[in-house]
Amino acid sequence: MEVQAAVLFAPQTRFEIETLALADPRPGEVLVRLVASGVCHSDYHLVTGDTKHPLPLVAGHEGAGVVVAVGSGVSRTRPGDHVILNWAPACGGCFYCQHEKPNLCDTFVEPLWAGTMLDGTPRLSWRGQPIYHYCGLATFAEYAVVAQESCVPIRQDVPLPVAALVGCAVATGVGAAMYTAAIRPGESVAVFGCGGVGLNILQGAALCGASPIIAVDSSPAKMAIARQFGATHTLLAGEQSVQAIRELTNGRGADHALEAVGRPAVQELALEAIRPGGTLTLVGLSAMGTGTNLPGAVLVRQEKVVRGSYYGSVNPGRDFPLLLDLYMAGRLKLDELVTQTYPLSQINDAYDAMLSGEAARGVILF
């Protein structure tokens, strides 16, 4: 079939809307009609070249839609199902899956980074040339063929434009607070960066019963938004923010700092903001090849803990439906995350708005 898709042909260029050929699903694969795809900064790392990946490709990894057809052997979903797409599919049988870390499953890592389906070949092409799939999903297109392991069926009374955000920003942020950092009631939390992921870290910290919850960002416009999503205090980023965090935590520093920007300078600032014995959780995606100066003497003498959070340490099959249940119960804000919507033809405008700080989360609607 033919589909309209946003193609990135080379780093440092704009997305181009092209008509591509999409092959039928093979055994174990599912054809999904995309309804919505979130505009996430991780995809923009492909544009800057900070994330290395085979090109040309169709990006997009935060999507939701309706199953149209399935290949042979598919047992996890069927036509008509509403699904959120999972960019870290898990096999269920490897070392990490068996140790309750499906977000770290290594079975599918090689084909996903090669930009192919699990059999090592792409389903997209343009003028006879292969077009690669980002994260095995390629949601910046009207339709996508994905592995059944990438489909999480969901309840059908949730609007798919907000469900799409659960596939990355919401799961990554809420999960980082609830699962990776395992914040306990009454613990103090500082969140650095109030974009789509950071706002969901704030929500997760509030769900965990944290207090105070301190939001730090360089944009004054995000201060009111951060309070809407659970922050009890807001601070503009800078040298004085660490001292302000200490003053809000009885002079000690926060029990937890979670960094959602992915910049070494912000990571280093967040380390300063935690108390001795506190935990820094790195959630933001850093550019490949970058390094962060985390002083060993401080880590040892003050027993500070630094850990990474990949996909919020979630189990998508368990947690996507749980997050939607929290939304339907009024305990999780999703509608408020969608600040602007765009047709696929305006995808470059959507990224311009994201980079300018205008949008917490833009969403492409098909």
Residues catalogued as catalytic: 40, 42, 45, 61, 168
Give bridge partners of residue 31 from the DSSP assignment: 69, 145
- Assign 11 to helix, strand or coil: coil
- Which H or E run includes 245? helix 239-248
Cα atoms in the Cβ-side hemisphere of radius 13 Å centred on 158: 33
Please name the amino acid found at residue 78: R
- Which H or E run includes 124? strand 124-126
Q: Report yes or no: 203 and 227 within 8 Å, Cβ to Cβ.
A: no
- Which H or E run includes 207? helix 196-207
Tokens of 73: 């052997």
Q: How many residues does the chain have?
A: 366
Provide the sign of the torsion angle of the four alpha carbons 196, 314, 29, 42, taken in this order: positive
The set of long-range contacts for 330-334, using a CB threshold of 8 Å and a minimum separation of 24, is 331/207, 332/170, 332/174, 332/203, 332/207, 333/203, 333/228, 333/229, 334/162, 334/163, 334/165, 334/166, 334/170
Helix orientation angle between 264-273 and 239-248, rounded to the nearest 10 degrees: 30
Please name the amino acid found at residue 173: G
- Which H or E run includes 137? none
- Assign 244 to helix, strand or coil: helix
